[in-house]
Amino acid sequence: MFTIKKPLVSIIIPTRNSSLFLENCLKSIGKQSYKSIEIIVVDGGSKDKTLFLAKKYKAKIYIFDPHLPPGVFDAPHKRNFGAKKAKGKYLYYVDADMELSENLIKEAVDLCESKHDAVILPEDSFGEGVWARAKNLERRCYWGDEFIESPRFFKKTVWDKVGGLDENLAGGRDDGDLYEKLKEKHYKVGRTKNIVMHNEGRLTLSNIFKKKIMYGKDVLKYVSKRPAVGIMSYSPIRLSYFKNWKLFAERPTDASAFIVMKSVEVAGGAVGIFKSVVKNK
C-alpha cells in the first residue's frame, strides 16, 4: 500500500539567547498533528542553552550575524536567511516565545493546498503580571484587524516571488509590508481557526518602552513607503478597540493597565522616531 508523501513545511525560528522560551516552542512543534516539518534555527550568537535546545529537538542550525548596529531589530534578516536555506514547499516563521496549537500547521497546509497562497495565524498570549494581562487584552482586540494581523505562513514560491521581508523596515512593520505586497499581486490569504500562543513572560513597562523605541526608529520608513496603511497601522486609537468594548468592560483592571501600557508604547515610539530623525539629519 502506498502512502502519499505530505509536503514539507519549513519552520524558521530566529534566535539569540532564547533558551528561556525556546524549549516550549520546540515542544509545541514536536506535538503537531502534521509531521512533515523541518525546523530551521537561525542564531545570532547565543551564549545560553539556545543551541543545545535546538540540537536536542533536531533543528537545523545556522549561525548568522548580519553585523547590524546595536539596537536594530535583526529578525527580518534572519527570517530571509532561513527562507533561503529552507527545503519545504511551505515557509512559516515563528518567534522563539511562541507556542503552536496542535492542529495549527495541518490547518495552514490544508488552506494552502486548497486555494490560498499565504495564511494568517491569529495570536493570543499569556504571561505573568498585570502588563502581560494587558497585552493579552490588546492581542485579542487585533483578531481580524487587517492593519495589524499579517500572514506568517507562505507557499515558498510566493515568498520568493514577492522577495520576502523588507529588511530595511526591521521592526517597523516588515510583516505588514509583506502582506501589502501579497495584496498587490492579488494573492489569496487565508486565516486559521487554530491560534498561536505568545509567551510574554513577565513583562515590565521598562522592557515595553525599550522595545517600542527600537520599533519607532523605522516608523517613518514604513509611513514613507506606504502612507495610508502606515498611518492606520501606527495609530494609537484603533477601531478594533471600540469594536471590542465588551472585552474592556468585562476586564476593567486589565483595561486600565492597557491604557497605561499603550501610553508608554506611544512614548517609546515617539522617542524612536525622534532618534531616527536626528540620526538622518
User: The CATH number of the domain where 67 resides is what?
Assistant: 3.90.550.10
Which residues of the chain register pLDDT less than 50? 1
Asked, for residue 163, whether it belongs to a domain, the answer is yes
The reply to whether the predicted model has a pTM over 0.75 is: yes
pLDDT of 171: 66
Q: Are strands 118-120 and 153-155 parallel, antiparallel or unpaired?
A: antiparallel
Distance, CA of 273 to CA of 275 (rounded, Å): 5
Asked, for residue 168, whether it belongs to a domain, the answer is yes
pLDDT of 2: 53
- Residue with the three cell numbers 550575524: 65
Reduced to 3 states (helix: H, G, I; strand: E, B; else coil), residue 186 is coil
Domain assignment of residue 126, given as a range: 9-280
Q: Is 121 exposed, middle or buried (0-12, 13-18, 19+ CB in 10 A)?
A: buried
Asked, for residue 33, whether it belongs to a domain, the answer is yes
Asked, for residue 1, whether it belongs to a domain, the answer is no
Asked, for residue 38, whether it belongs to a domain, the answer is yes
Rg, C-alpha atoms of the chain: 19
Asked, for residue 160, whether it belongs to a domain, the answer is yes
Per-residue pLDDT reduced to its tens digit, 90-108 = 999 999 999 999 999 999 9
Asked, for residue 59, whether it belongs to a domain, the answer is yes
pLDDT of 172: 66
Asked, for residue 147, whether it belongs to a domain, the answer is yes
- Residue with the three cell numbers 539629519: 281
How many folded domains does the chain comprise?
Answer: 1
